[in-house]
Amino acid sequence: MKKLSLLALALAATTVLTEVEMAFAQSPGATIEQRKAVMKGNGGAMKALGPMANGSQPWNQATAIQALDTLAKNGGETMTKLFPQGSGPTSGEKTAALPAIWEKWADFQAAAKGQADAATTLLALARANDEAGFKSGFAAMGRACGTCHEPFRAKQ
């Protein structure tokens, strides 16, 4: 039994390593495409949540949970991993990522964590079916996006 679970652990560790290696092994262009897709996922989630927060759409707990789960998972390390060194403007690819990301990496990491934290707080409210709490707390979610876009993303 002990052997089995050790084997499972070893396998899990290998899987994680492979994923990390792949993130760095792929071309900057592919990484940039991937992070834009994650950001579009963020945008889609915000579009689902915004109208519920301002009351133009009725509260739907399942939709809220799904969207907030996406935002929680997309933040933190999931996001910072998609910004490896060399995937900025110097890559020659079309990207709005500013060099400031790598100059102020700790701030960038904090902003990525900020998204995960804001989403996790709201997710707990959604799971408790606390519509009023969600509504009054939702502004923090938008601020989490802006906190990063303002210093780290080129104006479109």
Q: Decide whether 41 or 133 has the Cβ nearer to ligand HEC.
A: 41
Q: How far is the CB of 114 from ligand HEC (least distance, A)?
A: 6
Interface pick for ligand HEC out of 23, 28, 34, 39 (rule CB under 6 A)? 39
State the Cα–Cα distance between residues 94 and 105, nearest whole angstrom. 21
Instruction: Tell me: does residue 70 bind ligand HEC (CB under 6 A).
Output: no
Instruction: Tell me: does residue 140 bind ligand HEC (CB under 6 A).
Output: no
| Total residues binding ligand HEC (CB under 6 A) | 23
Instruction: Tell me: does residue 40 bind ligand HEC (CB under 6 A).
Output: yes
Question: Among residues 136, 40, 107, 116, which one has the least CA distance to residue 74?
Answer: 116
SS3 (DSSP) at 128: coil
Interface pick for ligand HEC out of 9, 24, 43, 103 (rule CB under 6 A)? 43
Q: What does each C-alpha distance from 6 to 18, 20, 38 come to in angstroms?
A: 18, 21, 33
Q: What does each C-alpha distance from 67 to 25, 78, 110, 116, 130 come to in angstroms?
A: 30, 16, 21, 12, 15
Question: Among residues 37, 48, 120, which one has the least CA distance to residue 79?
Answer: 37
Residues that bind ligand HEC (CB under 6 A): 32, 35-36, 39-40, 42-43, 46, 71, 79, 95-97, 108, 111-112, 115, 144-145, 148-149, 152-153
